[in-house]
Amino acid sequence: MTAKQHELLSAFVDGELNSQELDELLALMSTNDNARADYQRYQLSSDVLRGYTNRSQPVDLTARISAALADEPVHQLNGHETKKASVLKLPDWFWKQTAGLAAAASIGALAVVGVLNQPQTAVTPELAQADAVQTQTAVAASPNRWTVGEQEVEDRLNNYLVDHNEYAGASGLFSYARVVSYGEE
């Protein structure tokens, strides 16, 4: 049967055929046994989907299955010997490595479970507040006066101070602020 003929059968079961298509389907069903069998299947499916079947009658499939099995020819294998499955023999080193890998995996799993089961310690609000209150303090700059009697030593100390302030920028303060007027008095 063609797809168009199957569509005609389906439309007939659904009640959607016009008169011309109905005449075509009746001519097909009068000559084609397959079309009649397909119609019966389509109609049964439609009745089941719409709930028109009688549910009080149980369907006994066991008699039909038993009859079909009785009619089935028996096939016997003569002269054919079944082969036994061969077991794959792996070397001993393979099993040693596998056992080592399994042991390492189990230890790793235990470590993960141990880490996950540790109690979580929370930071107390007092400590968190203490961290927020801390500020960076700066030492007040000492005046650029030395209590040294020799001018050469005072100049040398001033050079040390300038060098120190140049390389001590990590404090976050402007290290050059106290020696801006170096050399002027």
| The pLDDT of residue 99 is above 80 | yes
Region of 134 on the Ramachandran plot (φ > 0 left; ψ -120 to 50 alpha; else beta): beta
| The pLDDT of residue 102 is above 90 | yes
| Domain spans of the chain, in order of start | 3-52, 144-185
**Maximum Cα interatomic distance, the chain, rounded to a whole number of Å:** 137
Q: Of 171, 119, 111, 113, nearest to 140 (Cα)? A: 171
Q: What is the mean pLDDT of residues 97-114?
A: 90
| The pLDDT of residue 42 is above 80 | yes
Task: Say which amino acid occupies 59.
Answer: V
Q: What is the mean pLDDT of residues 142-151?
A: 66
pLDDT at 117: 81
Q: Measured between alpha carbons, how far is 14 from 46 in angstroms, rounded to an integer?
A: 8
Q: Of 117, 113, 118, 182, nearest to 144 (Cα)? A: 182
Q: Of 92, 141, 50, nearest to 42 (Cα)? A: 50
DSSP 3-state of 69: helix
| The pLDDT of residue 55 is above 90 | no
